[in-house]
Structure 1
């Protein structure tokens, strides 16, 4: 398997966590989202993913390489193709809750602080993109916390790592980048994040541990 991603991309980060959690070996191919006008827009990359986005997971299919885009679709593939150790609970309601929490991040928070959106806001509308992102990240994470309160244990959903943790930890990394005091404003999520940070899979997936990491 080969993962095309960017060290600080939260969507790439999610997939790295899942791969590490499942103990899967993968080749990493860096796609710099800023250099050269954004390498994700280059023709050789858009052939792999017409959306021009990371991550892309390349796997071997019967007829040659198969390339999967969209981080949550990749998580679902990994869970089906490599079910152990699981990233979804066995209980149907809790599985749905894990997916709900994942989508709060995937659909409700991350798109509003996406690099392309922030660049558009600044260049075409004169918006303070960092303030915009900070507000939407915090409101979304407060909603995430409210939903998680009824199901959280050591992790987002009970005492086993799930998709929700794969989504939450990268989003908290972004939250801190935008100046949000996670410990003070999101205590439940801070506790879950601390528990995740003790796990080898989350340590290995951290942006600062990636081959293409740049000094902050």
Structure 2
């Protein structure tokens, strides 16, 4: 990737353990990089800040107020109803308090991912175009792309059961910024730590 400077920062506590790299690359890739690193729980606020501060550079939300509202809903579903229930700290707690069986943790994550995907399919069925809410990349896409990717790669979710999300995943796989931001493509990430 061009024009990037890697500034690795290691955050560690009992709640999270992340290696964050800041890249001076196009706006969407910065946000996607954060999301692929499972930081969507803080990134909705960051996304809203960036949209308010730089609305004309790379708009995250459409001008139409109805479409803006539709974009917030998938971002909220991912950041509050799916991602917190599949994050490392949650799965570690399940391992410590419920079962050390990896299949139990996987089943837990899959359950909440699938439940969220059902809601996303219903929500977006009347709004999707080439991507989530039409043909332009907006906030919904920035949350959906890494979530669908994680569901497939980390949690073995069969997304063919979700035809709209499968279609969106195919579209995201054709967008260079989405591909460049994938966790597996970051210089500070090994495949072992990505899963």
**The TM-score by the shorter chain falls in which range?**
0.7 to 0.9
* 2:155 paired residue number: 178
1:31 CA displacement: 4.6
* 1:159 paired residue number: 135
Instruction: Work out whether 1:70 is the aligned partner of 2:75.
Output: no
Task: List aligned pairs for 1:95-134, cutoff 5 A.
Answer: 95-126=68-99, 128-134=104-110
Task: List aligned pairs for 1:37-116, cutoff 5 A.
Answer: 39-41=11-13, 70-83=42-55, 84-116=57-89
1:26 CA displacement: 5.8
Task: List aligned pairs for 1:205-216, cutoff 5 A.
Answer: 205-216=181-192
> For 1:87, what is the secondary structure of its paired residue?
coil
1:215 CA displacement: 2.7
1:161 CA displacement: 0.7
Inter-partner Cα distance in structure 2 for 1:193 and 1:164 = 13
1:125 CA displacement: 1.8
After superposition, the C-alpha distances for 1:103-127 in whole angstroms (9 at most, x for unaligned) are 0100111011111011001111227
In structure 1, list runs of 5 or more residues that go unmatched.
1-19, 33-38, 43-50, 58-68
Deviating 4+ runs (over 4 angstroms): 51-57
Match of 1:135 among 94, 98, 111: 111
Instruction: Work out whether 1:29 is the aligned partner of 2:7.
Output: yes
Higher relative strand content: 1
1:85 CA displacement: 2.5
Residues 31 and 40, structure 1, Cα contact 8 Å, conserved in 2: no
Match of 1:195 among 166, 171, 174: 171
Q: Kindly tell me: are residues 137 and 98 of structure 1, through their superposed partners in 2, closer, same or farther at Cα, counting changes over 3 Å?
A: same
Query: Normalized against structure 1, the TM-score is what?
Result: 0.70
RMSD over aligned Cα, in angstroms?
A: 2.8
Residues 78 and 144, structure 2, Cα contact 8 Å, conserved in 1: yes
Query: Normalized against structure 2, the TM-score is what?
Result: 0.77
1:97 CA displacement: 0.7
1:131 CA displacement: 0.7
